[in-house]
Amino acid sequence: MLRLAATSLCLRCRRVPSLGLRTRPCASLSQSENQETVAALYDLSVDIQKVRKLKGWVLYRSPAYAKEVAGLLKDMGASAAVVARILATHPEAVLHDPEQVRSQKEVWMSVCPSQKELVGIIEKFPASFFTSASHWDNQRSNIAFFQHLNLNKRVITKLMAGAPQSFSRPVEQNQEVVCTLQQTYLELGGEEANMKVWLQKLLSQNPFVLLKPPEVLKQNLMFLRGRGFSTAQLLRLLSKLRGFVSELNPDSMRRSLAFSQDAIGCTEAELRDIVLKCPALLYYPESTLAERFGALLGAGISVPQITDSPTVLELTPQIVNYRLRQLEARGYDIRSGGLDVLNGTKKDFEKSFGKLQLRGERPLFNPVAPLRGDD
Protein backbone atom coordinates (compact mmCIF):
# COMPACT_ATOMS: atom_id res chain seq x y z
CA MET A 1 0.00 0.00 0.00
CA LEU A 2 2.86 2.38 0.82
CA ARG A 3 4.46 1.65 -2.55
CA LEU A 4 1.15 2.46 -4.32
CA ALA A 5 0.95 5.79 -2.48
CA ALA A 6 4.49 6.67 -3.43
CA THR A 7 3.90 5.61 -7.05
CA SER A 8 0.84 7.85 -7.31
CA LEU A 9 2.90 10.75 -5.97
CA CYS A 10 5.53 10.12 -8.64
CA LEU A 11 2.90 10.03 -11.36
CA ARG A 12 1.43 13.32 -10.16
CA CYS A 13 4.92 14.85 -10.28
CA ARG A 14 5.24 14.13 -14.01
CA ARG A 15 2.09 16.04 -15.00
CA VAL A 16 3.69 19.47 -14.54
CA PRO A 17 3.76 21.31 -17.91
CA SER A 18 6.97 22.76 -19.33
CA LEU A 19 6.97 26.42 -20.37
CA GLY A 20 8.96 27.63 -23.39
CA LEU A 21 11.16 30.73 -23.36
CA ARG A 22 13.39 32.46 -25.93
CA THR A 23 17.17 32.49 -25.70
CA ARG A 24 19.57 35.42 -26.18
CA PRO A 25 22.37 35.74 -28.76
CA CYS A 26 25.97 35.31 -27.58
CA ALA A 27 28.16 38.36 -27.02
CA SER A 28 31.13 38.80 -29.35
CA LEU A 29 34.77 38.90 -28.20
CA SER A 30 36.95 41.90 -29.12
CA GLN A 31 40.77 42.12 -29.14
CA SER A 32 40.71 45.18 -26.87
CA GLU A 33 38.70 46.14 -23.82
CA ASN A 34 35.26 47.59 -24.36
CA GLN A 35 35.95 51.16 -23.21
CA GLU A 36 32.27 51.91 -22.82
CA THR A 37 31.95 49.03 -20.35
CA VAL A 38 35.11 50.06 -18.47
CA ALA A 39 33.90 53.67 -18.20
CA ALA A 40 30.45 52.57 -17.02
CA LEU A 41 31.94 50.32 -14.33
CA TYR A 42 34.22 53.14 -13.17
CA ASP A 43 31.19 55.44 -12.88
CA LEU A 44 29.47 52.76 -10.78
CA SER A 45 32.51 52.55 -8.44
CA VAL A 46 33.14 48.92 -9.40
CA ASP A 47 36.59 47.55 -8.52
CA ILE A 48 37.96 47.31 -12.08
CA GLN A 49 41.26 45.78 -10.96
CA LYS A 50 39.38 42.94 -9.29
CA VAL A 51 37.37 42.39 -12.46
CA ARG A 52 40.52 42.38 -14.62
CA LYS A 53 42.25 39.94 -12.28
CA LEU A 54 39.42 37.44 -11.86
CA LYS A 55 37.25 37.77 -14.97
CA GLY A 56 38.99 40.14 -17.32
CA TRP A 57 37.46 38.45 -20.38
CA VAL A 58 34.16 40.16 -19.59
CA LEU A 59 35.68 43.56 -20.43
CA TYR A 60 36.41 42.38 -23.99
CA ARG A 61 32.83 41.38 -24.73
CA SER A 62 30.33 43.35 -26.77
CA PRO A 63 27.51 44.24 -26.50
CA ALA A 64 27.46 44.97 -22.77
CA TYR A 65 24.79 46.62 -20.65
CA ALA A 66 26.52 47.81 -17.46
CA LYS A 67 24.43 50.97 -17.00
CA GLU A 68 21.17 49.24 -17.84
CA VAL A 69 21.76 46.25 -15.53
CA ALA A 70 22.86 48.59 -12.73
CA GLY A 71 19.70 50.64 -13.25
CA LEU A 72 17.49 47.54 -12.99
CA LEU A 73 19.24 46.47 -9.78
CA LYS A 74 18.70 49.94 -8.32
CA ASP A 75 15.04 49.79 -9.33
CA MET A 76 14.78 46.62 -7.23
CA GLY A 77 16.09 48.55 -4.24
CA ALA A 78 19.82 47.85 -4.41
CA SER A 79 22.05 50.63 -3.13
CA ALA A 80 24.98 51.94 -5.19
CA ALA A 81 27.41 50.06 -2.93
CA VAL A 82 25.50 46.78 -3.37
CA VAL A 83 25.40 47.22 -7.15
CA ALA A 84 29.17 47.80 -7.17
CA ARG A 85 29.78 44.64 -5.14
CA ILE A 86 27.53 42.52 -7.36
CA LEU A 87 29.21 43.70 -10.58
CA ALA A 88 32.70 43.27 -9.07
CA THR A 89 32.10 39.67 -7.99
CA HIS A 90 29.97 38.71 -11.00
CA PRO A 91 30.81 41.06 -13.88
CA GLU A 92 29.19 38.66 -16.36
CA ALA A 93 25.94 40.29 -15.31
CA VAL A 94 26.66 43.21 -17.68
CA LEU A 95 26.46 40.82 -20.65
CA HIS A 96 22.79 40.08 -20.00
CA ASP A 97 20.27 41.93 -22.10
CA PRO A 98 18.06 44.18 -19.91
CA GLU A 99 14.93 42.46 -21.18
CA GLN A 100 16.33 39.13 -20.04
CA VAL A 101 17.11 40.57 -16.61
CA ARG A 102 13.51 41.79 -16.37
CA SER A 103 12.29 38.31 -17.34
CA GLN A 104 14.51 36.72 -14.71
CA LYS A 105 13.20 39.14 -12.12
CA GLU A 106 9.62 38.10 -12.96
CA VAL A 107 10.53 34.43 -12.62
CA TRP A 108 12.20 34.95 -9.24
CA MET A 109 9.43 37.18 -7.94
CA SER A 110 6.99 34.33 -8.57
CA VAL A 111 8.57 32.60 -5.54
CA CYS A 112 10.51 35.37 -3.74
CA PRO A 113 8.52 37.20 -1.02
CA SER A 114 9.86 40.69 -1.79
CA GLN A 115 12.25 42.67 -3.99
CA LYS A 116 14.35 43.41 -0.92
CA GLU A 117 14.94 39.70 -0.34
CA LEU A 118 15.67 39.19 -4.04
CA VAL A 119 18.38 41.88 -3.91
CA GLY A 120 19.90 40.08 -0.91
CA ILE A 121 19.92 36.82 -2.86
CA ILE A 122 21.50 38.44 -5.93
CA GLU A 123 24.22 39.95 -3.74
CA LYS A 124 25.06 36.57 -2.17
CA PHE A 125 24.38 34.33 -5.19
CA PRO A 126 24.68 36.48 -8.33
CA ALA A 127 25.42 33.49 -10.56
CA SER A 128 22.11 31.92 -9.52
CA PHE A 129 20.19 34.96 -10.77
CA PHE A 130 22.19 35.82 -13.90
CA THR A 131 21.82 32.43 -15.56
CA SER A 132 22.11 31.50 -19.21
CA ALA A 133 18.93 31.90 -21.21
CA SER A 134 19.42 28.34 -22.46
CA HIS A 135 18.44 27.12 -18.97
CA TRP A 136 15.26 29.13 -18.62
CA ASP A 137 12.91 26.45 -19.94
CA ASN A 138 14.22 24.02 -17.32
CA GLN A 139 14.18 26.71 -14.62
CA ARG A 140 10.51 27.51 -15.15
CA SER A 141 9.53 23.86 -15.39
CA ASN A 142 11.34 23.07 -12.13
CA ILE A 143 9.70 26.01 -10.35
CA ALA A 144 6.31 24.76 -11.53
CA PHE A 145 7.17 21.26 -10.28
CA PHE A 146 8.12 22.41 -6.77
CA GLN A 147 5.07 24.67 -6.62
CA HIS A 148 2.99 21.64 -7.60
CA LEU A 149 4.40 19.87 -4.52
CA ASN A 150 3.07 22.81 -2.45
CA LEU A 151 6.52 23.59 -1.08
CA ASN A 152 6.93 26.88 0.76
CA LYS A 153 8.03 29.73 -1.53
CA ARG A 154 11.01 30.47 0.71
CA VAL A 155 12.18 26.87 0.36
CA ILE A 156 11.94 27.08 -3.44
CA THR A 157 13.85 30.38 -3.39
CA LYS A 158 16.55 28.84 -1.20
CA LEU A 159 16.85 25.90 -3.60
CA MET A 160 17.17 28.23 -6.60
CA ALA A 161 19.85 30.31 -4.85
CA GLY A 162 21.85 27.53 -3.19
CA ALA A 163 21.68 24.83 -5.85
CA PRO A 164 21.00 26.55 -9.20
CA GLN A 165 22.27 23.45 -11.05
CA SER A 166 19.15 21.60 -9.95
CA PHE A 167 17.00 24.19 -11.75
CA SER A 168 19.06 24.27 -14.94
CA ARG A 169 18.63 20.55 -15.62
CA PRO A 170 15.52 18.76 -16.96
CA VAL A 171 12.64 18.63 -14.51
CA GLU A 172 12.40 14.85 -14.88
CA GLN A 173 15.66 14.42 -12.97
CA ASN A 174 14.34 16.33 -9.95
CA GLN A 175 11.07 14.43 -10.16
CA GLU A 176 12.98 11.15 -9.92
CA VAL A 177 14.99 12.28 -6.87
CA VAL A 178 11.97 13.72 -5.05
CA CYS A 179 9.87 10.63 -5.75
CA THR A 180 12.67 8.43 -4.38
CA LEU A 181 12.81 10.56 -1.21
CA GLN A 182 9.03 10.39 -0.82
CA GLN A 183 8.90 6.66 -1.38
CA THR A 184 11.76 6.05 1.05
CA TYR A 185 10.07 8.20 3.69
CA LEU A 186 6.82 6.24 3.40
CA GLU A 187 8.53 2.83 3.35
CA LEU A 188 10.39 3.72 6.55
CA GLY A 189 7.09 4.39 8.29
CA GLY A 190 6.70 8.12 7.78
CA GLU A 191 3.16 9.48 7.62
CA GLU A 192 1.97 10.96 4.34
CA ALA A 193 0.33 13.82 6.24
CA ASN A 194 3.76 14.91 7.49
CA MET A 195 5.67 14.25 4.29
CA LYS A 196 5.50 17.79 2.85
CA VAL A 197 6.97 19.31 6.04
CA TRP A 198 9.65 16.61 6.16
CA LEU A 199 10.58 17.14 2.50
CA GLN A 200 10.72 20.93 2.93
CA LYS A 201 13.04 20.60 5.89
CA LEU A 202 15.27 18.11 4.12
CA LEU A 203 15.62 20.22 0.95
CA SER A 204 16.12 23.50 2.79
CA GLN A 205 18.86 22.02 4.99
CA ASN A 206 20.75 20.48 2.08
CA PRO A 207 19.60 21.62 -1.39
CA PHE A 208 22.37 19.55 -3.02
CA VAL A 209 20.51 16.35 -2.19
CA LEU A 210 18.67 16.95 -5.48
CA LEU A 211 21.93 16.53 -7.42
CA LYS A 212 22.70 13.06 -6.08
CA PRO A 213 21.64 9.88 -7.94
CA PRO A 214 18.62 8.23 -6.23
CA GLU A 215 20.51 4.92 -6.16
CA VAL A 216 23.03 6.37 -3.67
CA LEU A 217 20.30 6.95 -1.08
CA LYS A 218 19.03 3.40 -1.46
CA GLN A 219 22.51 1.87 -1.18
CA ASN A 220 23.31 3.82 1.98
CA LEU A 221 20.03 2.90 3.65
CA MET A 222 20.54 -0.78 2.74
CA PHE A 223 24.00 -0.64 4.34
CA LEU A 224 22.63 0.90 7.54
CA ARG A 225 19.82 -1.64 7.64
CA GLY A 226 22.46 -4.37 7.38
CA ARG A 227 24.18 -2.84 10.44
CA GLY A 228 21.06 -3.49 12.47
CA PHE A 229 19.26 -0.14 12.37
CA SER A 230 15.50 -0.58 12.57
CA THR A 231 13.05 1.08 10.17
CA ALA A 232 12.15 3.72 12.77
CA GLN A 233 15.84 4.38 13.49
CA LEU A 234 16.57 4.77 9.76
CA LEU A 235 13.80 7.36 9.48
CA ARG A 236 15.34 9.27 12.41
CA LEU A 237 18.75 9.12 10.78
CA LEU A 238 17.37 10.23 7.42
CA SER A 239 15.87 13.28 9.10
CA LYS A 240 18.87 14.04 11.35
CA LEU A 241 21.44 13.74 8.57
CA ARG A 242 19.67 16.62 6.77
CA GLY A 243 20.05 15.09 3.33
CA PHE A 244 23.73 14.28 3.80
CA VAL A 245 22.85 10.58 3.74
CA SER A 246 23.01 10.92 -0.06
CA GLU A 247 26.61 12.17 0.18
CA LEU A 248 27.84 9.10 2.06
CA ASN A 249 28.94 5.72 0.77
CA PRO A 250 29.02 2.27 2.43
CA ASP A 251 32.83 1.98 2.41
CA SER A 252 33.47 5.28 4.21
CA MET A 253 30.68 4.59 6.73
CA ARG A 254 32.08 1.12 7.41
CA ARG A 255 35.53 2.54 8.17
CA SER A 256 34.19 5.37 10.34
CA LEU A 257 31.95 3.03 12.34
CA ALA A 258 34.80 0.54 12.84
CA PHE A 259 37.10 3.27 14.14
CA SER A 260 34.47 4.67 16.52
CA GLN A 261 33.59 1.24 17.87
CA ASP A 262 37.26 0.43 18.47
CA ALA A 263 37.92 3.82 20.13
CA ILE A 264 34.90 3.56 22.42
CA GLY A 265 35.02 -0.19 22.98
CA CYS A 266 31.28 -0.75 22.65
CA THR A 267 28.92 -3.36 21.23
CA GLU A 268 27.06 -3.02 17.91
CA ALA A 269 23.84 -2.13 19.74
CA GLU A 270 25.62 0.52 21.82
CA LEU A 271 27.25 1.92 18.69
CA ARG A 272 23.85 2.30 17.03
CA ASP A 273 22.56 4.26 20.02
CA ILE A 274 25.62 6.53 19.88
CA VAL A 275 25.17 7.12 16.13
CA LEU A 276 21.52 8.06 16.67
CA LYS A 277 22.70 10.71 19.12
CA CYS A 278 25.52 11.87 16.84
CA PRO A 279 24.93 10.95 13.15
CA ALA A 280 28.09 12.88 12.27
CA LEU A 281 30.02 9.70 13.19
CA LEU A 282 28.83 8.30 9.87
CA TYR A 283 30.48 10.91 7.68
CA TYR A 284 33.59 12.02 9.60
CA PRO A 285 36.67 10.27 8.11
CA GLU A 286 38.95 8.24 10.37
CA SER A 287 41.59 10.99 10.46
CA THR A 288 39.06 13.53 11.79
CA LEU A 289 37.70 11.10 14.37
CA ALA A 290 41.23 10.22 15.52
CA GLU A 291 42.08 13.90 15.97
CA ARG A 292 38.90 14.65 17.92
CA PHE A 293 39.02 11.58 20.14
CA GLY A 294 42.67 12.35 20.87
CA ALA A 295 41.96 15.98 21.76
CA LEU A 296 39.14 15.05 24.14
CA LEU A 297 41.07 12.26 25.87
CA GLY A 298 44.14 14.48 26.09
CA ALA A 299 42.06 17.12 27.89
CA GLY A 300 41.16 14.58 30.58
CA ILE A 301 37.69 13.74 29.27
CA SER A 302 36.85 10.06 29.69
CA VAL A 303 35.41 7.62 27.14
CA PRO A 304 32.19 7.15 29.19
CA GLN A 305 31.70 10.93 29.11
CA ILE A 306 32.10 10.94 25.32
CA THR A 307 29.66 8.02 25.06
CA ASP A 308 27.06 9.92 27.12
CA SER A 309 27.49 13.12 25.06
CA PRO A 310 28.86 11.99 21.67
CA THR A 311 27.92 15.27 19.93
CA VAL A 312 31.05 16.72 21.55
CA LEU A 313 32.83 14.98 18.65
CA GLU A 314 31.29 17.57 16.33
CA LEU A 315 33.57 20.21 17.89
CA THR A 316 37.06 20.81 16.50
CA PRO A 317 40.02 20.47 18.91
CA GLN A 318 40.52 24.24 18.72
CA ILE A 319 36.95 24.91 19.87
CA VAL A 320 37.21 22.29 22.63
CA ASN A 321 40.44 23.78 23.97
CA TYR A 322 39.08 27.32 23.91
CA ARG A 323 35.92 26.34 25.75
CA LEU A 324 37.82 24.29 28.31
CA ARG A 325 40.02 27.31 29.11
CA GLN A 326 36.92 29.45 29.55
CA LEU A 327 35.31 26.89 31.86
CA GLU A 328 38.47 26.33 33.89
CA ALA A 329 38.75 30.08 34.42
CA ARG A 330 35.33 29.91 36.11
CA GLY A 331 36.44 26.98 38.26
CA TYR A 332 34.37 24.41 36.37
CA ASP A 333 35.84 20.88 36.43
CA ILE A 334 34.90 19.22 33.14
CA ARG A 335 35.97 15.81 34.44
CA SER A 336 33.30 15.75 37.12
CA GLY A 337 30.75 18.27 35.86
CA GLY A 338 29.67 16.65 32.59
CA LEU A 339 29.99 17.70 28.95
CA ASP A 340 26.60 19.33 28.41
CA VAL A 341 28.04 22.76 29.10
CA LEU A 342 30.82 22.14 26.56
CA ASN A 343 28.48 21.01 23.79
CA GLY A 344 26.48 22.88 21.20
CA THR A 345 26.90 25.91 18.98
CA LYS A 346 28.74 29.09 19.94
CA LYS A 347 25.42 30.60 21.04
CA ASP A 348 24.59 27.50 23.12
CA PHE A 349 27.98 27.61 24.85
CA GLU A 350 27.76 31.33 25.59
CA LYS A 351 24.36 30.79 27.15
CA SER A 352 25.59 27.90 29.32
CA PHE A 353 28.76 29.78 30.25
CA GLY A 354 26.71 32.83 31.17
CA LYS A 355 24.66 30.76 33.59
CA LEU A 356 27.84 29.46 35.22
CA GLN A 357 29.15 33.01 35.53
CA LEU A 358 25.94 34.24 37.15
CA ARG A 359 25.98 31.31 39.54
CA GLY A 360 29.56 32.13 40.52
CA GLU A 361 28.83 35.82 41.11
CA ARG A 362 25.58 35.38 43.06
CA PRO A 363 26.29 35.68 46.82
CA LEU A 364 25.06 32.94 49.09
CA PHE A 365 22.52 33.95 51.75
CA ASN A 366 23.12 32.52 55.21
CA PRO A 367 19.88 32.78 57.25
CA VAL A 368 21.67 32.36 60.61
CA ALA A 369 24.38 34.96 59.99
CA PRO A 370 23.99 38.17 62.03
CA LEU A 371 22.84 41.20 60.12
CA ARG A 372 25.38 44.01 59.90
CA GLY A 373 23.98 47.20 61.37
CA ASP A 374 25.18 50.76 61.79
CA ASP A 375 27.55 51.42 64.67
Torsion sign (Cα): 41, 42, 43, 46: positive
Give percent of the chain with pLDDT exceeding 70: 86
Instruction: Indicate the pLDDT class of residue 206, thresholds 50, 70 and 90.
Output: confident
Instruction: Summarize pLDDT for 315-341 with one digit per residue, the tens.
Output: 999 999 999 998 888 888 888 777 888
Domain boundaries, the chain: 33-130
Instruction: Summarize pLDDT for 255-304 with one digit per residue, the tens.
Output: 999 999 999 999 999 999 999 999 999 989 999 999 999 999 999 899 99
pLDDT score recorded for residue 159: 93
pLDDT score recorded for residue 8: 47
Instruction: Summarize pLDDT for 208-226 with one digit per residue, the tens.
Output: 889 888 888 889 989 999 9
Buried b / exposed e across 198-230, counting CB within 10 Å, b at 16+? bbbebbbebbbbbebebebbeebbebbeeeebe
Give the number of other CB atoms < 10 A from CB of residue 99.
Answer: 12
Residues in Cβ contact with 277 at an 8 Å cutoff, skipping those fewer than 6 apart? 310, 311
Nearest partner of 46 among 19, 11, 73, 18, judged by Cα: 73
Instruction: Indicate the pLDDT class of residue 27, thresholds 50, 70 and 90.
Output: low
Residues, the chain, total? 375
